[in-house]
Amino acid sequence: MGNALFYHLTRQPLEVTLGMLLDRSLQRDWRVVVRGTDMGRLEWLDQKLWLGPEEGFLPHGLSGGRHDAAQPVLLTGGGELPNDPSCIMALDGAEVAPDEVNRLERVCILFDGHDGEAVQRARVQWKALTGAGCKAQYWSEESGRWEMKAEA
């Protein structure tokens, strides 16, 4: 049974936090789906991840290619899981189902703490997932380092 981890971003930009979480996931030999709501934003993120430091290279691809099933990290705007992931990282309010949380090792929900709508969507997701019996943790970087602030 997995966990849903909510990451309230207030200091680092999305691409920095996502890069850190992806690196940790790959160190665990997990495959990851990064699920977004806008392909333009995912294409921007794809470029950001390719331009990272050489020593921190994160192998990944955008969905829709011939090798989706082989990608260690797959950026997608849909609900498909062609690379058989251990983890989903949901961005920009992308939906995550309770059965995904329970089936996978981990689900990470990243949201911009400076965007009131994003915070509200995360609250709705928290209530929906915990209401369905999923384990969840709320993490904040407000103090300058990541700290768990709540658990259900």
Please give the pLDDT value at position 38.
Answer: 94
Class of domain 9-151: alpha beta
pLDDT at 51: 77
| Packing angle, helices 39-50 and 14-27, rounded to 10 | 70
Name the nearest CA neighbour of 110 among 91, 86, 134.
91
* Consecutive 10-residue averages of pLDDT for the chain (152 residues): 93 93 95 96 90 74 92 94 97 96 97 96 97 97 93 96
DSSP E strands in the chain: the ranges are: 3-9, 32-35, 61-62, 73-76, 87-91, 106-112, 135-140, 147-151
Give the integer Cα–Cα distance in Å for 76 and 74.
Answer: 6
Q: What is the pLDDT of residue 89?
A: 98
Write down the domain spans for the chain.
9-151
The per-residue pLDDT for 11 is 95
> Would you state the pLDDT for residue 50?
81
pLDDT at 53: 65
